Structure 1
Amino acid sequence: MRRKLLSFLLAATMVTGCIGLTGCGNKDAADADSAAQSSDAGSENAGEDAVANLIKSTKDTVKLTVWASEEDQDLTKSLLDKFQKEYSDVKFNIQLGKESESKTKDDILKDVDAAPDVFAFADDQINELVKAGALQEVVADYTYDVKSENVAGSIEAATVDDKLYAYPMTADNGYFMFYDSSVFSEDDVKTLDGMVAAAKKAGKKIAIEASNAWYFYSFFKGAGYDLSLNEDGSNTCDWNGDGATDVAQAIIDLYKSGIVVNLNDAATVTGIKDGTVAAAVNGTWNAKAASKAWKKNYSACKLPTFTVAGKQVQMASFSGCKLVGVNPRSKFVGWSMLLAEYLTNYDAQVERFNQRELGPSNIKASESDEVQSNKAIAALASQAEFAAPQRVGNNYWSPVETLGKKLADGNPKGTDLQKLLDNAVAGITAPVEDSAK
């Protein structure tokens, strides 16, 4: 296997801005640098040499702090125990803390120096973490080649300015359609028109949370309108361009049917359980509730098309991954990188799927029969070609939530649709400093 170990000392110097890693308090800096140099000749045993050098050069107790979500505590603890047994020649003191992947960035940026050595986070936080110097570039592959063993989308999500800054852990943080197959046929779920007709006949609802900007993205992006993040953290958006009012009207028409309903996650699950909701645009986190309620009738697919000005348009989506990062200020950067690899390697991702049904980013793991037979994961895979990583500035969320709610409510004040979109885009594309006002 190809081992790409660049000069760790040089790279870490660039990331932390220190003259040398030892000057930053990194006790295993020399070990990591030695590991990098051991692979310069492209030896097949480079990875083994890197680990051996790290072990040989470690004299003190390796003290590490790791953050994982509350749901991932048991699995992470098990993996940490196995990691310490595998490297039993070294004495470890590893502390495991609880932290939601959705909040990691906010808490780390309060004090990067006090942040954990290794931590899990959602990929949409990566730009701000890199900008703050809170992520160590992945310049060393100790036990496997991170780039070649994970799906391309997860590597893209872990990359900033062509540099890899994190280790992909899952590739399932997106959304799709799950449905009750006793209500909808496979042909019905190809289009929202077909789904609305079938649901109306059965007296059921279809939950799509228009007032959630994450889901609402599906409509305008699917219709060919763009949204992108600028270097200064502001957004570029053309959702008020030519023909965009047709998209807005299409959304109004969908919700006016009374069949497509604007429900949040909690209300969606309640509706599934009480039998009123027979389909939902949602993610793996609620797929279990749907599977339990609909039993053998539970099914899932990519997002359907919807009608815009008489034409069928494929709904788009945000794709997402969960990543593991390493703090460049860690006193044990080399060990932190090795542990990050361990927590995200093939075996760990298989175990994470087995225990929590989280979709692997590891290519081999994602191609297993068990993963492929999981309906939610298969639906995400089908949606992948219509999905894009979530890269938006903070000014995106509030204006879009407001727009989505107004359209789902049928534009009750009768505001001119072009004006409605112009106002939303003005908020989305506002200069970054405006977000603090």
Structure 2
Amino acid sequence: MKLWKKVLMCSSVVLAGLTLGACSNDNSNSTLSNDNKKPITLWVATDYVPWYKTSVKQFEKKYPQYKVKVAQSPNGTANAKTDVGKDPTKAADVFAVPNDQLGSMADAGYINPLSPKDVANIKKNDTAVAYKASQWKGKLYGYPYTADVQFLYYNKSKLSASDVKDWDTLTKKGVVATDFSNAYNIWPVMFSAGTKLFGDSGEDLKGSTMDSQNGVNGLKWVAEQKNNKGVMQTTNALNQLKLNHAQAILDGPWDAQNVRKILGKNFAVAPYPTITINGHKKQMQAFLGIGCFGVNSHTKNVKAANALAEFLTSKEQQLIVHTKTGETPVNKAAQATAAVKNDKVADAVMTMSKPGYSVIMPKMPQITTFWNESAPLLSGVYDHKVKPAQYRAKLAKLQKDISKK
């Protein structure tokens, strides 16, 4: 899903507009009225509205006491936090939301923790990483349903499966295109180098460790790519692949259909390759996002809203999402079906979702500061405008700035 792709290109969104709500942290939804007869509203991505209407009809058949109105998210699902925050009392009862927005929304009182029953169901039926990604401060706030992570698309007539296993071989045999001004694409190299962003949990304000020799080593790798003839800096990797100026790109499942059209029978995917940092082979990593459905804490019909969110994230509905969009389910039984196991893209996503291949998108409110400052740092290092002698100081400033409350 394009949950993260859009929001990360608009990283200047300010969190100051988030105000604390009156809801408590003990599932205060339970105190609201559940007998409201008005239809509840569901917000989803614009192009998903038609087939979610079909899912809603199935829901209404199962729960005839409830009615649902499907509408497009006002400014896209990537901006759920902003849209709900404008006026939670007028926002949708249930809405699609990336997991990295759950923390801010929970702190603002827009969403409440899930019930013990729903928590138990998610823990039992969904992957451990989806369960973890939907938590904030030890409580579950989202109903997970899909995994999003980047991997490698490549032209198998130009590159072999063996070629793409290591960055050095890949960039000697062909050209890989990506955007070094996009922190979503490039910052995870810093995880490969051994640094942490908000600690192991992704929720530790003082847990970032980029101000270190490991951080410097990561930036050195970024700088080296400027002179690597097998690496292309571009803000439109798809076009470079289409023109055959590049034979591989770093991209996600949201562009699978486009890449299939470009490569046709030469379409191939693979997990990220290994890279060499400070003389050591490391697994190149990516950011992992989990698509969720959130329930508005201001809904007038809690039972209907919770029932809808649970229904839309069931095994059956996750498989429908996979069929319609190609997104990878997080339900373990859905992942075990032939339809998902035999899907090359889903297989790459599931591999990249494993520990050591990716890091869950942090849910800290300070992530906005991180996006704003990390992108120009990476771009400057790649372009050699930021000199090696400046690396440590720049990393120290970034670490300090994202550690402020």
- Using structure 1 for the length normalisation, give the TM-score: 0.80
Q: Which amino acid aligns with 2:391?
A: L
1:344-384 CA distance string (max 9 Å, x none): 11111111111111100111111111111111211122222
Matches within 5 A, 1:362-373: 362-373=331-342
Moved more, 221-230 or 184-193: 221-230
What is the identity, as a one-letter code, of the residue corresponding to 1:214? Y
Answer with 1 or 2: which has the greater Rg: 1
Q: 2:322 touches 2:328 (CA, 8 Å); kept in 1?
A: yes
- Find the partner of 1:135 among 95, 111, 116: 111
How far apart are the structure 2 equivalents of 1:17 and 1:164? 10
Number of aligned residue pairs: 377
1:188-224 Cα distance to aligned partner (Å, 9 max, x none): 111110001101xxxxx31122211111122111111
CA apart distance, 1:421: 3.7
In structure 2, what is the Cα distance between the partners aligned to 1:216 and 1:85? 46
Evaluate the alpha carbon distance shift between residue 134 and residue 114 of structure 1 in structure 2; reply closer, same or farther with a 3 A threshold.
Answer: same
Corresponding position: 1:348 with 2:317: yes
Are 1:248 and 2:222 matched, yes or no?
Answer: no
Cα distance change on mapping 1:363 and 1:74 into 2, 3 Å: same
Does the aligned pair in 2 maintain the 1:77–1:96 contact within 8 Å?
no
User: How far, CA to CA, are the matches of 1:70 and 1:315 in structure 2?
Assistant: 33
Residue of structure 1 aligned with 2:151, choices 171, 176, 182: 176
Q: 2:194 aligns with which of 208, 224, 234?
A: 224
- SS in structure 2 of the partner of residue 240 of structure 1: coil
Q: Secondary structure at the match of 1:277?
A: coil
Contact preservation (8 Å) 1:303, 1:315 = yes
Following superposition of structure 1 onto structure 2, how do residues 10-49 of structure 1 map, counting pairs within 5 Å? Answer: 14-15=24-25, 26-28=32-34
* Contact 1:142 1:338 (8 Å CA) reproduced: no
Q: Secondary structure at the match of 1:27?
A: coil
| Cα drift, residue 121 of structure 1 | 0.4
Matches of 2:203 and 2:166, distance apart in 1: 38
Alignment partner for residue 357 of structure 1, among 318, 322, 326?
326
Q: How much does 1:250 deviate?
A: 2.2
TM-score by length of 2: 0.86
The 8 Å contact of residues 328 and 349 in structure 2, kept in 1 or not, is answered as no
Q: How does 1:255-294 map to 2 (within 5 A)?
A: 255-264=226-235, 267-294=236-263
Give the counterpart letter for 2:33 in structure 1. K
Corresponding residue for residue 371 of structure 2: 397
Distance 1:431 1:309, change over 3 A: closer
Task: Name the amino acid aligned to 2:136.
Answer: V
Correspondence 1:182-201 to 2 at 5 A: 182-199=157-174
For 2:216, give the aligned amino acid: T
* 144 and 252 in structure 1: CA distance in 2 versus 1, 3 angstrom threshold: closer
Distance in 2 between the 1:235 and 1:184 partners?
43
In 1: Cα distance, 2:238 partner to 2:125 partner: 35
Corresponding residue for 1:417?
Answer: 388
Q: 1:163 to 1:246 in 2, by over 3 A?
A: closer
Amino acid in the other structure paired with 1:210: F
Structure 2 unmatched runs, 5+? 1-21
Greater shift, 150-159 or 104-113, is seen at 104-113
Query: Which among 209, 219, 225 is matched to residue 179 of structure 2?
Result: 209
Q: CA RMSD in A?
A: 2.6
| Whole-angstrom CA distance in 2 between matches of 1:17 and 1:141 | 12
Q: Which runs of 5+ in 1 are unaligned?
A: 1-11, 29-57, 200-204
**AA matched with 1:128:** S
User: In the alignment, which residue of structure 1 is the partner of 2:359?
Assistant: 388
Counterpart contact for 2:99–2:142, Cα < 8 Å: no
1:407 is the counterpart of 2:378: no
Pairing partner for 1:121 from 97, 108, 129: 97
